[in-house]
Amino acid sequence: MDKIKLTVRILPAGKEVMVGVPPNTLGSELIAAILGREDLELPRKNSDGVLLQYELVCKETGNREVGANATLGEAGVKEGNTIIMSPKQFTAG
């Protein structure tokens, strides 16, 4: 299967990486691949020691979230798009 080239911008670190992945890649698979890159030195836990959960949002689809169990293609992600990867924000309820 052909790969699509994307820019992944990681917040709040402000780092950017270019990746080439098949359109049937799940959101969770892309997150795992980015977190697995040791050269990026991304945090896995917050300051309280709680494991961070990341989410993906595609700028070109109106900041639509790419769900963990959705493929990039299903989320409307296309060649050249920018994906924002950031820790999920939880609010106390």
In the chain, the number of structural domains is 1
Q: Which amino acid is at 70?
A: A
- Tell me, yes or no, whether 13 lies in a domain: yes
DSSP state for residue 35 in the 8-state scheme? H
Which residue is it, tokens 């917050």?
46
User: Does any domain span residue 63?
Assistant: yes
The pair of three-digit structure tokens given for residue 58, joined into one six-digit string: 């595609």
* Residue 92 maps to a domain: no
Q: Tell me the CATH number at 82.
A: 3.10.20.90
Q: What is the mean pLDDT of each run of 10 residues along the chain (93 residues)?
A: 93 93 97 93 86 93 93 96 89 50
* Prediction pTM value: 0.88
Q: Which helix (H) or strand (E) holds 16?
A: strand 15-21
Q: Note down the domain range covering 68.
A: 4-87
